[in-house]
Amino acid sequence: MALLHMNADDFNTYVTEGKGAVIVDFFATWCGPCKILSPIIEQIAAEFDGKITVGKLDIDENLEIATAYQVNAVPTVMFFKDGQAVQTFVGVQPREVLVEAANKLL
């Protein structure tokens, strides 16, 4: 599966109720740093295709989820394993940092 543009139902299916590894990029369309991070997230989605579900969640359209996970700044990238948040990065991160964290999920 390529990069998934998540809504609340997708988030519940893949993260809350899901099993396995999931990376969620919490972003906003108006956020400049989010636009910088977006190609990195797309690369990670392609690289880990079939191993890790990678999704983007617009905080403006999914405010309840962002609030529940205490997303106070964007971009925020959260790594989940079997429905539990295991690592969080706030702000633009180098690709290598995110890949290293993704490998730890496997």
Per annotation, catalytic residue among 4, 22, 34, 45? 34
The continuous run of DSSP H or E covering 63 comes out as helix 63-68
CATH for the stretch 4-105: 3.40.30.10
Considering 3, 6, 31, 74, which one is annotated as catalytic?
A: 31
Inter-residue contact 12 to 64 (CB < 8 Å): no
34 is catalytic: yes
The CA radius of gyration of the chain, in Å to the nearest whole number, is: 12
Q: How many Å apart are CA 8 and CA 10, to the nearest integer?
A: 5
For residues 57 and 82, give the distance between their C-alpha atoms in angstroms, rounded to a whole number: 18
**Residue range 17-63, pLDDT digits in tens:** 999 999 999 999 999 999 999 999 999 999 999 999 999 999 999 99
84 is catalytic: no
Distances (CA, A) of 22 to 31, 47, 48, 83: 22, 14, 10, 8
Read off the pTM: 0.96
